Structure formats: C-alpha cells, structure tokens
Structure 1
Amino acid sequence: MEAIEPVYSSGILLLIAAVAVAVLLFLIMKVKLHAFIALVLVSALTALAAGIPIGDIPDALSYGFSNTLGSVALLVGFGVMIGRLLEVTGGAQVLADTLIGRFGEKRAPFALGIAALIFGFPIFFDAGLVVFLPIIMTVARRFGGSVLLYALPAAGAFASMHALVPPHPGPVAAAEALGASIGLTLLVGVPVAFVAWYLGAFLISQFLGRRFYVDVPTALFGEINNGGTTEDTAVGDAGATGGAPGGGSVTQTKARTAPSFGVVLGVLMLPFVLISFNTVLNTLMTAKVISEDATWAQFLRLLGNTSVALLITVIVAIFVLGRREGSMADVTTILDKALGPICAIILITGAGGMFGGVLRLSGIGDALSGSLSSLGISLILQAFLISTLLRVAQGSATVALTTTAGLLAAAVAEADLSNLQLSALVFAIAAGATVLSHVNDSGFWLVSRFFEMDVKTTFKTWTVLETTLGLSAFAISLVLWSVG
C-alpha cells in the first residue's frame, strides 16, 4: 500500500503524530488499557485524523500489522521453541557455565555482549535476541540482580550490529544509495559497532541495570527453583529435583545428562551460518560479484532466509536435544508450552507495527523529510538529523535509513567526498535511525514484552540505551568524517 497524498501541511501532520503518541502513552500508562487495544485504537484514530480516506483505513491498519507479523511471528515462534529446548535440556546452562568460566562472574554481562556482537554479524536484531533469551535468563538467574544487567548488553549488541554493519539490509541499502563502498563500510563498520556498543550500550547498561531492578521473566521459560523449573515437562529440566518451597511440590522428572558444549554451540551456530548465506550473498549480488540468476546462489539464499533457517534449526534441535531421552510426544508438549506465552508478545508487536505503518502511510515521514532536506547544514549533520526525525516520526529504523540515504543521494553525488567520508555518512544515518526507540517501533515492544517491563520502565531503559548507542555511533562518524 502506498502513502496517501498529504491533505494537511507538514506542521499539522507532525502535530497529529505528537498528539497520537501522547494519547497512546496516556491510555497505556494512566488508564492502564491493554497495550494491544490501545495501539489498535490510536492507530485507527490517527489514520482518521491524518486524512486517510475512510474506506482505506482498514487496509492502512492491516498494512503495518501484517507486514510486522509476517517478519516477527515466525521468528519469535521458532526462536522460542529453540530457546525452550535449550532451557529444559540444560543446554542454556551449559553455555552459560562455559561463558562464565572463560570470562568470570564479574564479566558475565560483557561476555554476553561480546557473544551477541559475534552472533549478530549475520542475523537480524529480533531473531538474534529471541534465540539468545534462554542464555540471558540462565545467567541472570545464576547471579541474581536485575535481568537488565545481562539483557541490555546483549540486546544493545544486536541493535548495534543490525544498524551499522553490512550485510544487514539498512547499511547495505544506504551504502548503495550513497555510492559508498560496501566492503569499506563493512571493514570500518565492525570496529565502529564495537566501540559504539561499548560506550553507548555496555557502560550505560550497567548503570541502568543497577538503577532499575527488573525480575527475571518467568512467562517464557518458567521459574527457577533449586536448579530446575517449577513447570512440568515430560522430558524434564536439567537438575530438576526435590520439592518446591512452602510445602508445594514439583513433578519429578527423570534424570538426564545435559548436552555437551559442542552440541549446544552447534545448535546456536546453525541459524547464524544459514542466515549468513542469505545476507552475504545479497551483498555480493548487490556488488555484482555474483549473478542474481545463479541457481546455487538462490538455493543458498532460500536456506538462509531467516524463517527457513530457524525452522531447520528447530528440527535439528528436536533430534539432537529433545529426542535424546524423550519421545516425540514429549517434545511436542514442550513446544506447545513454549508457544503459549508468546501470543501477547506477537500481537502487541504487530500492533506497534500497525501504528508505525499508519504514520508512514499518512505522509508524516515524507512531509518531515521534505521540509528538512534543504537545510543549509553540513551533509553529515543533515544525515543524522533527518534520519533521527524520520525514526521518531514513523518508528522503523530501516525505513529511516533508506529514506534518508535516498534524500541525500543527489547532494552526495555533487560533493567531492572520499570513500571514508561516504562510509561515515552511512554510519551517521544509521546512528540517527537508532536513537529514541519508542511506542511506534516494534522493537520497543519486543524488548518490553520479552523482559516483562512496563512502558515507563522501557522508556527509561531501552529508549535511553538506544539513544546513547546512536549518539556514540554519530560521534564516531564525525571523527571519521573529519579525518576522511
């Protein structure tokens, strides 16, 4: 569905967007209306107020909702299945013990962040985060304290890699539009992403994790008790023995040997290896190194499609983890219990995508970018500001990246810029597309629901971290711009 021709001036459209966000926050935080209902209601009212024809409003609502669900539902569903199998078979504990053994207890959050940076090279933010959830939860349960101490470094690492480093689609599209070298953007982007993560995500996450206490979530992977979970499973959790505190009981499960570190690492690496086929081949095709018509390349791209890669990983995990000591019926029971708690997460995330989609279709983003593209400021500052305002207006980081790059392409072509300066522009645009994640961003709702935070706490933690991450990346891009 295409954006409508705006019927109001840019100022009126921006006012509508601001009022819509304010009303949404009021309904969720003050009225305590369920986030899913509030998002759908405000999306419909925003579409009506912005001048979308009444007959087109249902399509406008389904546009963002279906697009978001199409990318998120399968990823979250398959990812939680993998996570649950790792959890109940003791695989997550094995990986956590290995990480802590190598880095030490005090460096556990840093270890999780480094692992997420490595795994985040080929995989998108949402898919990487959902696969990493059981590891984050296991480490948090072992050492105690706020789950944010362990969750935010990993989530920030995935966000940093997704925004700044090819072969992720945003930086690739921006580099292509600006004529920047994808290879140089990749080589420089890796250290930029690491430094930006360390300064803007890791250090900040430790401050936020100590200031805001959030219990380890129990909805997705059960509540830990004496080394096991209090949730019945047919296959059984590693180390689940004894009774529950307070006179309750825990169903006895047969003892099992936890999988080896190699097996766990292999299961985790499988989707990343498969997904790298797709992302790397897309980059090579964009650079005309490989023909888009090559059959072998198309087959590898199919295997590397995120949903297909996770489906393959689920099947492998069933046989190398779930079937080691349990029947297929036992495994099915585990997977059923994994899917139940994620219904609300998927629906709220889809509704967040609906709200962002309405804002895009209403022409708010186009009106904003059109009024800013002619500002008489330096290209790199203009890139950051336009991308930031587009991100705030419509929520999608990828849309902000690609739109800003397209708007600046003509001016960049006329300027005499070095290859390093072109890459710095890509990083500046990515930095702007990262900051100020809020209620029109589906990633905001994923983080909020996964870690069972209310909206206010998510603003004070995730929104702050995304903003400091983006500002750190922009500061680095300014240095590169000046020396380029």
Structure 2
Amino acid sequence: MTPSPLLLAAAPALPHTHSDSRLLVAVLLSIGAIVLLISKAKLHPFLALTLGSGLLAAVAGAPFDKLTASFSTGFGATVTSVGLLIGLGAMLGKLLADSGGATIIADTVLGRASKRSLPWAMALIAAVLGLPLFFEIGVVLLVPIVLVVARRGNVPVLRVGIPALAGLSVLHGLVPPHPGPLVAVDALKADLGTTLALGLLVAVPTLVIAGPLFARVAERWVGPLPLPEPAADLPAAERPERTPAFGAVLATILLPVVLMLGKALADVVVDDPKSTVQRVLDFVGSPLIALLAAVLVAMVTLGRAAGFDRQRISDTVARSLGPIAGIVFIVGAGGGFKQTLIDVGVGDAVSHWAGKLHISALLLGWLIAVLIRLATGSATVATITAAGIVSPLAAGMSGTHSALLVLAVGAGSLFFSHVNDAGFWLVKEYFGMDVGQTIKSWSMMETVISVVAIALILPLSLLV
C-alpha cells in the first residue's frame, strides 16, 4: 500500500537538517511531549500526535510555513490507504457480533472440547474471532464466553481466560488487517500478503506459549479468582431471529485471509505480470477488494442468515463506523508524525546510528516500539511511531525482510501493558482482579508474547 502520488505532491518536503544531535533532541522532545500529553495530561492521542509533530518540525529547524505540510500529507496518505480497510474490518466485525456468528463459533468448538483441551479451544476461538475484530471488541465478545466456559467446565477462569486474551492480542499485534500492522505495512512498504503469511507463522507458536502454556503459570501466580455473576440475556428485540451456520460463519471470517494469501502465493509461484491468473488473484487479493468482498458476503451469510432485513443490515453496518472514528484519526495522526519524521531527516539519521551501533534493524524496530509502548500505553501509537522512525531501514530490504520488520515492530508494541493502557483496565474490570493480579497475568502475558515473537522473528530472518 503506497501513499497517493497526488497527496505526496501536495506538500513539499521539509528541508533536512544536517545535525544529528539536533535531530536526536527533536525526536526525544517530540516523543516525550506525546508521552506526557497522553499519560499525564490525558490528551487524546490524535491531539498529542498532532502537537508532537509540530514540535518535532520546529525543533528540527523547519520553516514555520512548512510546519503543517508534511503532517497533512502523511495524515491524508495514511487515512487514504488504511482508513478504508479499518472501516471495512469494523463492518465485518459488527455483522459477526450482531448476527450471533461469534457465539456459533464458540459453541461449536467448545461442544467438542474436553476439560483438558478447554484452554486450547479458547485460544483457537480467540484466534479465529480475532482475525476480523479489533481487540476491544473481541474482549467484549469473548469475556462472557470465557466466564460461561469456566463455570460449565469447573476450571479456573484464568486457565481459559489467558488463552483467549493471548489469541486476541497476538492477532492484534502481528496479523493484518488490524490497524497497527496495516499502518506498519504502509510505512515500511512491505507486501501485505507476505506480512500476513509470516505473521500467521510467527503467531501460532507465540500463541501456544503465551496462551495455554503461560495460563498455568499465571494461574499459580494469581491464585483462584471468583467468577462474576452471569450477565443478563439481551432483550428479545435485540436477539437475531435465527443463527447462521457454523461453516458459513467460518468461511466468511477466513475469506479475506484466503484471498490475500492467494495473492501472495501467486506472486511467488506464478511471478508473471502478464498471466491472467496472477492478475485476477492480484486484484481479488488486494486488501481493499478482499475485505469489501468479505463484507458483502457477510451481509448474506451472517446478516440475512440471522433473519435481518435490509434495513437492519444497513443499520448494523452504519453503527460499526462510529466507534472507529477515533482509531482512524489516531492512525492518521500517526501517519502525519511518521511523514514529519521522514521529511526532517530523522529516518536517515537512524540509519546512520544503526550502522554505527551494528544493531539489527529488526531488533532496533522492536526496541523502539517497546520504549514507546511502555511510555504511552498504546500499541497502535507505538507501532505507528516506531515504523516511521525505522522506515528508511526498510528501503534496501527484500520483501520478506520488510515484512519481518513489520512483525518486529508489532511485537515490540505489545510489550508489558500496564496502568497507562486502556486494555489493562478493561481486562482488570472484566475479570474482577486487582492491579497486582492484573500485572501478574495480563501484563506478563503481553510481555511473553512480545519476547517470544521477536525470538522467533530474528532467527526466521536468517532463513528467508
């Protein structure tokens, strides 16, 4: 996914400064300001990133009449390339939730799982549902299922809760079409299909270790947790008349993934731009077309199958867009900050520093994302900012190594969620834990995901 040439031509690049020390001061001040504005002043990340971009350009020595040019260009290019995909993903997730498709997936898998295999079943459910759903939506959908499973199976809640959270988090950080990986793919000019394939390759063993295996450890650290009272049923008017079939739900969820993977496979196996097969697969496997096809199919396989009329399907799709407005603006502002970083010459300076330090670009991207994640609490902000800083390092990389850099940044963005992360409080309240218990379970699980993922990515870079 590349920015529109018209957008890039709309604003001239900021003049590069030749002082590495001045650039370093500009980067530290701007990131520090973003951190303080988000964590201390409780300013919305969109406003914090906007102000941080202005501070970066000013300290780096850009003329005042050019302060907003790079930010506007980056914002527009990012929203153009990524915002559409986020909107389509939200539509698919809303149709899945309102039609009862998520419940069908859970009930079918759990109905065939023994007590011993329940943690693995929950990890599988979370991974499948996590493909089209944003993390927060996935938590809201999955927690009631986790509580029902723990109650019916008479197992500790964390034994099934940690695998579910791990499945959502791993997909959120490593696998497109989630916003963070999508923005990193765009910033680093990586191939989305390759990133998706490698992301799934890294995600599976990471989920196994951070999910069912770590759940046993977290269970011992935290101790038994009381199960909250079951939530009341939805009003009858809000329930779907009937439920879609399991096979139809699963096929709909996997459709965009299969289409994008098919494009990546055709690019490797066929590798002939004149081939009709490759041209067709390149078209249907492009992220926009793949997600659009999935949404249109979901209107029938989920919406109509649940008994929704045309008006209710339309209302469901419309309601999906409101909650993601903030995400789109944050992602767009992150794109503006990224473009400002590039235009003042920070990317070139980072390349120079990395060469002097002899540090792997993958490890550098992971470390930068870790630091920003710890400071801001936002995985998306960490991914956006780190991808912008290391983007020049991807210029000479092969397609697979650019994709691995996306994954390294995504892995770093998941490191140790704590009290400045909204997800921390969401998990704490849903599971009825105190702060210490949440750190021992959720925060440590996030750290395990981050460390295991980069431990897999680094040796994988030597093989591909």
TM over 0.5: yes
* Among candidates 353, 363, 368, match of residue 345 of structure 2: 363
* Aligned counterpart in structure 1 of residue 412 of structure 2, from 430, 433, 436: 436
* Partner residue of 1:323 out of 304, 310, 315: 304
Q: How much has 1:438 moved relative to structure 2?
A: 8.6
Alpha-carbon separation, structure 2, partners of 1:40 and 1:206: 43
Q: Deviations over 1:418-438 (max 9, x none)?
A: xxxx99x88985665345329
**Does structure 1 residue 227 correspond to structure 2 residue 241?**
no
2:146 paired residue number: 143
Correspondence 1:51-130 to 2 at 5 A: 51-103=61-113, 110-111=120-121, 113-114=123-124, 128-130=131-133
CA shift at 1:105, angstroms? 7.0
CA–CA distance in structure 1, aligned partners of residues 239 and 169 of structure 2:
35
> Taking structure 2 as the reference length, what is the TM-score of the superposition?
0.68
Distance 2:262 2:81 in 1: 18
Partner in structure 2 of residue 279 of structure 1? 264
Is contact 1:6-1:363 (8 Å) kept? yes
Residue 244 of structure 2 aligns with an amino acid whose one-letter code is P
Please tell me the residue identity of whatever aligns with 2:452: S
Alpha-carbon spacing, 1:29–1:280, altered in 2? closer, same or farther (3 Å)? same
| Count of aligned pairs | 403
Corresponding residue number in structure 2 for 1:235: none
Deviation at 1:297, TM superposition (A): 2.0
The AA in structure 1 aligned to 2:393 is: T
Q: What is the identity, as a one-letter code, of the residue corresponding to 2:304? A: R
Q: CA deviation at 1:152?
A: 3.6
CA distance in 2, matches of 1:270, 1:43: 38
Q: Which residue of 2 aligns with 1:123?
A: none
CA distance in 1, matches of 2:343, 2:427: 30
Change in 2 beyond 3 A, CA 1:467/1:311? same
Residues 41/292 of structure 1: CA separation in 2 closer, same or farther (3 Å cut): same
Q: Which amino acid aligns with 1:306?
A: P
Residue 153 in 1 paired to residue 129 in 2?
A: no
Identity, % of aligned pairs? 27
Superposed, 1:75-474 pairs within 5 Å as 75-103=85-113, 110-111=120-121, 113-114=123-124, 128-130=131-133, 136-144=139-147, 150-157=164-171, 159-160=173-174, 193-199=203-209, 225-228=231-234, 240-241=235-236, 252-253=237-238, 256-284=241-269, 289-324=270-305, 325-375=307-357, 382-388=360-366, 395-396=383-384, 403-404=392-393, 406=395, 432-437=408-413, 468-474=448-454
Instruction: State whether residues 94 and 260 of structure 1, in contact with CA within 8 Å, keep that contact through their aligned partners in structure 2.
Output: yes
Shift of 1:321: 2.5
Whether the aligned pair in 2 keeps the contact of 1:174 and 1:401 (CA below 8 Å) is no
Structure 1 residues 19 and 398, CA gap change in structure 2 (3 angstroms): closer
Q: Report SS of the residue matched to 2:360.
A: helix
Shift in Å at residue 351 of structure 1? 1.7
Equivalences for 1:38-57 in 2 at 5 Å? 38-57=48-67
Please tell me the root mean square deviation across aligned C-alpha atoms, in Å. Answer: 4.8
Whether the 8 Å contact between 2:15 and 2:343 is mirrored in structure 1 is no
- How far the C-alpha of 1:398 sits from its partner, in A, is 6.1
Amino acid at match of 1:142: I
Name stretches of at least 5 consecutive residues in structure 1 with no aligned partner. Answer: 121-127, 176-181, 212-223, 229-239, 242-251, 410-421, 440-446
Moved more, 256-265 or 40-49: 40-49
Contact kept, 8 Å, 2:206 with 2:453, in 1: the verdict is: yes
> Residues of 2 paired with 1:321 and 1:92: CA distance?
10
Q: CA-to-partner distance for each residue in 1:111-144, whole Å, 9 max, x for gaps?
A: 4544676899xxxxxxx35378766533212224
Query: 8 Å contact 1:112–1:150 — kept in the other structure?
Result: yes
Matched residue type, 2:144: R
SS in 1 for 2:353: helix
Given the superposition, is the C-alpha separation of residues 208 and 53 from structure 1 closer, same or farther in structure 2, using an over 3 Å criterion?
Answer: farther
The residue number in structure 2 matching 1:443 is: none
